[in-house]
């Protein structure tokens, strides 16, 4: 199994600012995934972060708005830039288990933009 520490757990930010979310895993993983969960909605994949290469973004998500860093095999950050109230969501990082047998999730970051 993998233990994921995600910070911060919650934050309230002013519109126009940015928030950087950190995700630390207790073991080395190839892929890390970032999801967004809007209020009352399911999880939507934002991007896949592979160490040593640019993140791959899903349709509707762009690097300028959601820049991702992946400096090593245990850490990643997601920045949500130029915040607007529509960005108020829970953001979760995830890693897969061995042989893609399970996905492990951080506790999530609850972002409120005011």
Partner 1 sequence: AQSVTQPDIHITVSEGASLELRCNYSYGATPYLFWYVQSPGQGLQLLLKYFSGDTLVQGIKGFEAEFKRSQSSFNLRKPSVHWSDAAEYFCAVGPNQAGTALIFGKGTTLSVSS
**Interface residues toward partner 1, by CB under 8 A:** 4, 6, 30-31, 33, 35, 41-43, 45, 48, 50, 92, 94, 96, 99-103, 105-108, 110
Residue among 28, 23, 108 at smallest CA distance from 74: 28
Strands (E), 1-114: 4-7, 10-13, 19-25, 31-37, 43-50, 56-57, 68-72, 75-80, 89-96, 103-105, 109-113
Q: Minimum distance between the CB of residue 20 and partner 1, rounded to whole angstroms?
A: 19
Shorter beta-carbon distance to partner 1: residue 33 or 66:
33
- Cα–Cα distance for residue pair 99/37, rounded to 1 Å: 25
Shorter beta-carbon distance to partner 1: residue 50 or 69:
50
Q: Minimum distance between the CB of residue 16 and partner 1, rounded to whole angstroms?
A: 27
Q: Minimum distance between the CB of residue 37 and partner 1, rounded to whole angstroms?
A: 9
Residue among 50, 41, 58, 44 at smallest CA distance from 92: 44
Q: Minimum distance between the CB of residue 36 and partner 1, rounded to whole angstroms?
A: 11
């Amino acid at each position: 199994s993998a233990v994921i520490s995600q910070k911060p757990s919650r934050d309230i930010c002013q519109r126009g600012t940015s928030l950087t979310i950190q995700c630390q895993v207790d073991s080395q993983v190839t892929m890390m995934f970032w999801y967004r969960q809007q209020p009352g909605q399911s999880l939507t994949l934002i991007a896949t972060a592979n160490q040593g290469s640019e993140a791959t973004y899903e349709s509707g998500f762009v690097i300028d708005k959601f820049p991702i860093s992946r400096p090593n095999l245990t850490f990643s950050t997601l920045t949500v830039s130029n915040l607007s109230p529509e960005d108020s969501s829970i953001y979760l990082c995830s890693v897969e288990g061995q042989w893609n047998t399970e996905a492990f999730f951080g506790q999530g970051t609850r972002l409120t933009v005011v």
